[in-house]
A and B are shown apart, each in its own frame.
Chain A
Amino acid sequence: MSDFDPAGADNEADTTATGRRADATATDGGTDTTTAEPAGGAAGAQADSQTPSGQEREPATASSGDYPVASRDGDDESESSEERSSETTVRSVTTRQTNRWVGVAGLSFLTGGLGVATSTRPLLLAAVVGVTYLAYANVSSAPSPSLSVTRQVSDSMPEPGDDVTVTVTVTNAGEQSIPDLRVVEQVPDALSVVEGPARAATALRPGATMTFSYTVTARRGEFDLDGLTAIVRNASGSEEREYDVRTEPTTLTCVPPVDATDAVPLHALTSPYTGRVATDTTGSGVEFASVREYQHGDPLSRLDWNRYARDGSLATMEFREERMATVVLLVDLRPAAYVQSGEDGPSAVERSIDATHRVFNSLLDTGDRVGIAALSEADIWLPPGSGPTHRAEARHLLATHPALSATPPAERVYVRPALRLLAGRLPDDAQIVFCSPMADSAAAYVARRLHVRGHPVTIVSPDPTRRDTVGRTLASVERSNRLSDLRASGLRVIDWTGEESLFEALERARRRWSA
């Protein structure tokens, strides 16, 4: 009997583990731990009858609504009609003796002894009952189940904040019945369960099915629902086995809608292409700049005809040229940027990414060329570009790249190599919009370095600080000093507090700069 269906061939790195067995040998002692070992060399096609692997590549049927909510049945006929069993792999097995019957054993001997001492035959009979239970606890061991697990999500492409109902179906695919099965879904950390425990307990006869469902609130990102902890016990509960099961993943992709903000104020460094940033260069445009003497070849439409009518001399009007800017949005994803104000609410990184997303879309709307880079462990680089394909690429990148997740990275990010790499990639005419909470001096260093390299930097800084304790006030003051220093060095800083929208922050900044 193979425990849990063999690993599917499409599980990367698990291809050799087909037919992996979860053999846990229960030996003496209070708690023994045995880890499942892959059975060597079982490379051939898995001969598991109920796993037609071509058929269930669509675990996430994304239709909404009509799922049974928390219906639980152990014993009806619906199980055989479902062909879509999933492939599961056991990652680890732990076998434990619960030792819960030890007290009963001791008590029964005490009772028997008392019966002997007082010559009370009924007490001796009570001791027989105790010994019976001792036998009951000892003769059976926890079953090694073969489970197949399928998940259905009400919406596999939700928008952030949407509630998604996940329905989990667990089928006992083995020959043994499971008297006590407890399953705990391994919901990704970033998703919060809002309804129903993502857990269930039941007893399953061979072929029987259990269904339970729970609701999570979607957040930006791509999540694989592929883990399940199954705890099986024997009928007496004297032994328990905990399986860490990897099932076929059901993916939840949550991409924020295309949200733009108002036009982002940019520095005057531009590319040679026509765009919307008014420059000091004169030529054709909308905004009047100056009048100069006519030169041969000037277009007739720009001749100052009023002047010609007045004194007969030819003059050409000059307008401020509007050019396209090349902007690279730089997101701060260093562990130091994972700060948030208070216990709940979005982290500064989450706000930075949101800002990046909005600024990206609005810049693209205004015809600028926009790229994305990040200070992170993983290499994130989307070269500046434009057009709908570019927009879709960026949207997908910002939503689903694992390095842009809501949980801080494990390793520290080294700023200097990251800067060197970035400097090599940046086009000469690129300016930077740096989204960072500016929670440490390294962020300020990055901004300055880029600025002095000739890439004008605009900092969009979500403010994560609070002033309710002395320490927090200190951090807040430090941060605002840092921002002031940067402003003094000629960088533009948009301080985006938690209460206002990005639009308001940009508007406030624009008023200051145009004044």
Chain B
Amino acid sequence: MTGYELVRRPSRQSVAIAAAAGSFVVVASIPGGPTPTLLALAGVVALLAGVWRGRHDVVDGGALVAFAGVVAAALSGAGAMPVVFGSVAAVVAWDSGSNSISLSEQVGRGADTGRVEVLHALVGGAVGLVGGGLAFVLFQVGPTRQPVTTLFVLLLAAAVLVVALNR
């Protein structure tokens, strides 16, 4: 029986959205030198390939490598601004990529999903930028210079609180 065949892979548009976010990851890791940049680039390329093929695992792995590029940049002395920005971009790239795969699995490639995907990426980006921006401001203007361990414990406490409040 001839009929419409559902293609369960994301469209070009989805790849473009992930690519836009991914390019920021690469740009953000440039201050760390060539190695972090190449690492981020490799990760983003893998992520995009994963989106195109509709593979969740490849997207996850690619995003991990891209984020590792950002971490490497931070370790090689990149400033707080590019690192925060790069982390947000890495999360948005991964988020929009895996979201578009789940969309394509449920509604297929032929449906026009641009609107919901762009919205998803924008909201995700905004959340990250607000959170990262707030942290950055506190980091810059904070009155005391606490030891990092204290900060980490505070961070952990915040995370636990968030999870606990929702249950």
- Give the A-B pair count, Cβ closer than 8 A: 179
How far, in Å, is B77 (CB) from chain A's closest CB?
A: 9
Mark contacts of A184-212 with chain B using CB atoms, 8 A cut-off: 1 yes-contact digit, 0 otherwise: 10000000111111011111000000001
Within 8 A of B (CB), among A96-112: 98, 100, 103-105, 107-109, 111-112
B110 CB contact (under 8 Å) in A72, A134, A196: A196
Q: Which residues of B contact A (CB under 8 A)?
A: 1-4, 6, 60, 64, 67, 70-71, 74-75, 78-80, 83-84, 86-88, 91, 94-95, 98-99, 102-103, 106-108, 110-113, 115-116, 119-120, 123-124, 127-128, 130-132, 135-136, 139, 148-149, 151-152, 155-156, 158-159, 162-163, 165-167
**Closest 4 pairs between A and B when the two form their complex, measured CB to CB:** A132-B131, A122-B83, A128-B135, A199-B107
Hey, which chain A residues are within 8 Å of B159, CB to CB?
105, 108-109, 131, 134
How far, in Å, is B57 (CB) from chain A's closest CB?
A: 11
8 example contacts (A-B, Cβ-Cβ < 8 A) are as follows A72-B112, A112-B152, A126-B84, A131-B131, A131-B158, A193-B3, A196-B4, A236-B127
Within 8 A of B (CB), among A74-108: 74, 98, 100, 103-105, 107-108
Does A180 touch B at the CB level, under 8 Å? Answer: yes
A133 and B119 in contact (CB under 8 A), knowing A118-B75, A212-B111?
A: no
Does A120 touch B at the CB level, under 8 Å? Answer: yes
How far, in Å, is B98 (CB) from chain A's closest CB?
A: 6
- Secondary structure at the B interface, as helix, strand, loop or mixed, is helix
B103 adjacent to A182 (CB under 8 Å): yes
> In whole angstroms, how far apart are the Cα atoms of A134 and B158 in the complex?
10
A237 adjacent to B102 (CB under 8 Å): yes
Does A60 touch B at the CB level, under 8 Å? Answer: no
A121 and B112 in contact (CB under 8 A), knowing A112-B152, A115-B148, A129-B91?
A: no
Residue of A105, A118, A126, A202 most packed against chain B (CB within 10 A): A126
A103 and B60 in contact (CB under 8 A), knowing A128-B132, A129-B132?
A: yes
> In whole angstroms, how far apart are the Cα atoms of A194 and B162 in the complex?
48
A112 adjacent to B3 (CB under 8 Å): no
Q: Which residue of B lies closest to A122 (CB)?
A: B83
A74 adjacent to B98 (CB under 8 Å): no
Q: Which residue of B lies closest to A127 (CB)?
A: B155
Q: Chain A interface residue count: which class? A: 35 or more
B130 adjacent to A132 (CB under 8 Å): yes
B107 CB contact (under 8 Å) in A109, A126, A129, A184: A184
Hey, which chain B residues are within 8 Å of A214, CB to CB?
4
Q: Which residue of A lies closest to B83 (CB)?
A: A122
> In whole angstroms, how far apart are the Cα atoms of A108 and B132 in the complex?
13
Does A484 touch B at the CB level, under 8 Å? Answer: no
The stretch among A135-143, A270-278, A312-320, A488-496 that forms the contact with chain B is: A135-143
How far, in Å, is A248 (CB) from chain B's closest CB?
A: 23
Does A468 touch B at the CB level, under 8 Å? Answer: no
> In whole angstroms, how far apart are the Cα atoms of A280 and B125 in the complex?
92
Does A256 touch B at the CB level, under 8 Å? Answer: no
